[in-house]
Amino acid sequence: MSRCILPVVCRDLPFKLYLFLLFAFVSCTSDDPFQEFLKEQGTVFDLLLRRGQVLDGTGAAAYTADILIRNDSILFIGTVDPGLLEVRSEIDATGKFITPGFIDAHAHGDPLETPDFENFLTMGVTSICLGQDGGSPAFEDLEPWMDLVDSTITGPNIIPFVGHGTLRRLSGVGFEPKPSEEGMLRMTSLLKSALDAGCFGMTTGLEYTPGTYAGEAELIALAQVVGEHDGLIMSHMRNEDNDAVDNSLRELLRQGQYCNVQASHLKVVYGQGPERAEEILALLDSARQASSFSVTADLYPYTASYTGIGIVFPQWAKPPNNYEEVKQDRREELLTFLRQKITDRNGPEATLFGTAPFAGKTLAEVSNEMEHPFEEVLLDIGPGGASGAYFVMNEPLQARLLEDPYVMICSDGSPTMRHPRGYGSFPKIIEQYVEEEGRLTLNEAVRKMTGLPAETLGLKNRGLVKAGYFADLLIFDPEAVHARATFSEPHQLTDGMEWVIVNGEVAYQNGTAGVRNGRVLRKE
C-alpha cells in the first residue's frame, strides 16, 4: 500500500488547497493494484489487450479486463490507465473474448518440414502434442532433435512425447511378442532418456505394428518408468470396436495403476447411442475413483476416423509377415476377411481414400471405376498402400463422450492429412457444440481446450489467462468462428480467430500470418 503524510492544517492554509491535499492523501493511501503494479514493473510494455471478456480456462464465467504483456508473459490483468503506459502495440478487444490458446492433445506433423503449422494456428491452437500413436522421431537421444526444432522456430509450441513403437524399433525388440531381458532394459533406458530430455510421457499405438505385439508385462514395466517421471501415457488402444473397446480400456487402465493415462481419440466403432457412451464413461470414472493417477481422454468432433488402410487388414497380412507371400498362399482367406471387415465398417461407401491415386474417392467408387469387387481393390493396394477416412462412428454416442468433464479436445490432424479434423476440430466445437446445439457453454468448451489439457499434461504456467503465465492467447467472437474444412475440401482454413498470440507475439491476425514464435516445451 502507498503511504503519504497529510500536512498539518495551518490557519493561513487556503481551504481549496487543503481539500486538494486531502484528496491526494485519500487517493495515495487506498489500495490500487494497478498503481502498485506500475511501481514494481515500470510503465513500458509490449502489448496491451483492452476491454476483453476474459475466459480464463478454468471453466469460470467471463469477466471484463485489460491485459498487459511484456516479452512472453502476462504481467497484469485488471483495469489499466493507458495514459500511464508506453506500449509497443495495443489491441482493442471490446466485445470479444480473450481466452488461453488452445492445446491440441493429439496432433501429427513434422515441425522440421512444416514449421508454420498454419492449420493449427488458424484454429486457435497455440500448442500441439506430437509423437502420437507410438511413433516419434527415431533418435536415441531426443534432446538434439528438440534443439533443432527450437532453432527452426515453429508457429505453435511443440509438446513432445516418445513413441512406444519407436522404442521397440530403436531397442532392437521390433516385432518380438516377448522381449528379452536385454531388450526390455534397452527399451526402459531409451524411455528414461526421452523423459529426462523433456518428453511429457509415452504414446502407444497398440492397433499398429510393432506396438500390437506388446504384452501386459512389457506395458506395465514401461508404465512404471513413466510414473516415476510423473508422465502420461497417451494410448491409441488395441481395438476401438464396440465389442472390444471395453477390454482395450481395461488394458490401459491397468497401466493407470502406475502412471497417468489418457485414451487417445476416444471412440466406439459401430457403437450406437448415448447409452453406450454412458457405459464407457462409467468405466473410466470407476478407474478414476480407484486410482491416485489421472484418467482422461481426448476426442475430435467428427464421426469419421483417418488412418492407414492397414486398419482393415488382418494382423497376419501385415509386417513382419511377407504380404506378397500372404497374397499368394492365403488369397481367398484374405479376400473373405476384407469383404467381411468392410461390410462391418458400414460398407465400401464409408471408406474415403485420402492418398493418391484415389484421393477423394470412396472405395465403392474406385471399385465401380475399376470394375473389380472392392475386396480385390484392397488386395491389390495392400495394407501399406493408402490412407483414408472411415465413417464408422455414431454422432449421439460421440457427442455424449464429448460432454464429459474429463474429456478434452484434439484434432488428430496434420497440415497434410485429407481429413477436415486437422483444419476444423476446434472451431467446430465452438460453432456446433456451443453456438448451434448448446451442448457446452463457451467457458466449458474453452476449459476442455486449455486448462484441462494443461493440467493433465503437467504444463507449467500455460493453459490459463493468469498473471505470470506465458502469453498464449486468443481474441475472437464465437459467433464469427467457422470451420470451413469439409471432406471434399479438407484443407480450408478456419475463419474467425481474429488474433492468435504465441509467447507474447502475434502469430496470426485476421487471416494473415504473423511472427513464428513457438518453442519446444520441455517437462520439468
Q: What is the CATH number of the domain that holds 235?
A: 3.20.20.140
CA dihedral (118, 123, 128, 129) positive or negative: negative
**How many CB atoms sit inside 10 A of residue 475's CB?**
23
Assigned domain for 55 exists: no
Instruction: Check residue 14 and give its pLDDT.
Output: 58
Assigned domain for 348 exists: yes
**One domain, residues 405 and 378:** no
**Residue ending a domain, choose from 357, 372, 391:** 391
Assigned domain for 344 exists: yes
Q: What is the DSSP letter of 440?
A: S
Q: Are 391 and 303 in contact (CB under 8 A)?
A: yes
Q: Nearest to residue 310, comparing CAs of 211, 235, 379?
A: 379
**One domain, residues 377 and 418:** no
Largest CA distance in the chain: 114
Task: Write out the three cell numbers for 150.
Answer: 527450437
Task: Kindly report the pTM of this predicted structure.
Answer: 0.92
Give the structural domain span for 428.
Answer: 100-303+393-513
- Local confidence band at 18 (pLDDT 50, 70, 90 cut-offs): very low
Give the Cα separation of 469 and 331 in Å (integer).
59
**Residue ending a domain, choose from 350, 370, 391:** 391
Percent of the chain clearing pLDDT 90 (strictly above)? 93
**One domain, residues 219 and 290:** yes
Q: Which residue, chain included where needed, has cell 478454468?
A: 58
pLDDT at 3 over 50: no
User: How many structural domains is the chain composed of?
Assistant: 3
Instruction: Check residue 13 and give its pLDDT.
Output: 53
Q: Are 462 and 522 in contact (CB under 8 A)?
A: no
**One domain, residues 146 and 247:** yes
**One domain, residues 351 and 431:** no
Give the Cα separation of 499 and 514 in Å (integer).
10
**One domain, residues 315 and 288:** no
Q: Nearest to residue 485, comparing CAs of 410, 396, 420, 411?
A: 420
**One domain, residues 281 and 428:** yes
Instruction: Check residue 8 and give its pLDDT.
Output: 42
**Residue ending a domain, choose from 337, 357, 391:** 391
Assigned domain for 243 exists: yes
**One domain, residues 178 and 241:** yes
pLDDT at 16 over 60: no
Tell me the CA end-to-end span of the chain in Å, nearest whole number: 36
Instruction: Check residue 17 and give its pLDDT.
Output: 53
Instruction: Check residue 23 and give its pLDDT.
Output: 41
pLDDT, one tens digit per residue, over 228-238 is 999 999 999 99
* Total count of residues recorded for the chain: 524
pLDDT, one tens digit per residue, over 247-271 is 999 999 999 999 999 999 999 999 9
Assigned domain for 91 exists: no
Cα–Cα–Cα angle for 426, 422, 92, nearest 5°?
A: 45
pLDDT at 19 over 50: no
pLDDT at 5 over 50: no
Question: What 3-state DSSP class applies to 364?
Answer: helix
Please compute the mean of the pLDDT values over residues 196-213 and round it to a whole number: 98
pLDDT, one tens digit per residue, over 327-355 is 999 999 999 999 999 999 999 999 999 99
pLDDT, one tens digit per residue, over 383-432 is 999 999 999 999 999 999 999 999 999 999 999 999 999 999 999 999 99
**One domain, residues 291 and 323:** no
Listing DSSP states for 378-411 in one string gives HHHH-TTS-EEEEE---HHHHHHHHHSTTEEE--
What are the φ and ψ backbone dihedral angles of 132, each rounded to 5 degrees? Answer: -90, 165
pLDDT, one tens digit per residue, over 89-125 is 999 999 999 999 999 999 999 999 999 999 999 999 9
Q: Are strands 102-104 and 201-205 parallel, antiparallel or unpaired?
A: unpaired
**One domain, residues 326 and 415:** no
Chain-centroid distance, C-alpha 347: 31
pLDDT at 25 over 60: no
- Local confidence band at 524 (pLDDT 50, 70, 90 cut-offs): confident
pLDDT, one tens digit per residue, over 173-194 is 999 999 999 999 999 999 999 9
Please compute the mean of the pLDDT values over residues 45-74 and round it to a whole number: 98
Assigned domain for 329 exists: yes
Please compute the mean of the pLDDT values over residues 356-364 and round it to a whole number: 95
Helices (H), 93-141: 118-122
**One domain, residues 106 and 244:** yes
Assigned domain for 124 exists: yes
Q: Are strands 304-308 and 351-353 parallel, antiparallel or unpaired?
A: unpaired
pLDDT at 166 over 90: yes
**One domain, residues 255 and 377:** no
Question: Order of strands, edge to edge, in the sheet holding 304-308?
Answer: 304-308, 387-391, 351-353
pLDDT at 475 over 60: yes
Q: Are 231 and 259 in contact (CB under 8 A)?
A: yes
Assigned domain for 74 exists: no
Give the Cα separation of 161 and 173 in Å (integer).
20
- Across the chain, mean pLDDT equals 94
